[in-house]
Amino acid sequence: MSAANKDAQSPIGALPFRQGALSAEEIRRECPRFRILIIGKANAGKTTILRKVCNAKPDAKPIVYDAEGREVKQAPTKVESPSES
């Protein structure tokens, strides 16, 4: 990328990358609880990426809440193999 392109893309007076960024401890102090929304097609890897980001165990089940903050109980689903159809 040319110097002219870099100048055109950065706002005047913008801080360089990471300058002034909060540490993890400061972020937790400012926002002890947060929510994440991941939207995507079925089998796109939404749960997988969330588990990686949260360092969750592979067999851990996600806890789902409704708009009022109540936990949604999920019914167990049976996955049929092609030979059972």
Closest CA to 33 of 65, 1, 4: 65
Q: List own/partner pairs for 28-36 with CB under 8 A and 24 or more apart.
A: none
Domain residue ranges of the chain, discontinuous segments joined by +: 22-59
Backbone dihedral angles phi then psi of residue 52, each to the nearest 5 degrees: -65, -45
pLDDT at 41: 93
Terminal CA-CA length for the chain: 56
Can you give the pTM of this predicted structure?
A: 0.38
pLDDT means over runs of 10, the chain (85 residues):
50 60 82 83 88 83 83 73 60
pLDDT of residue 7: 47
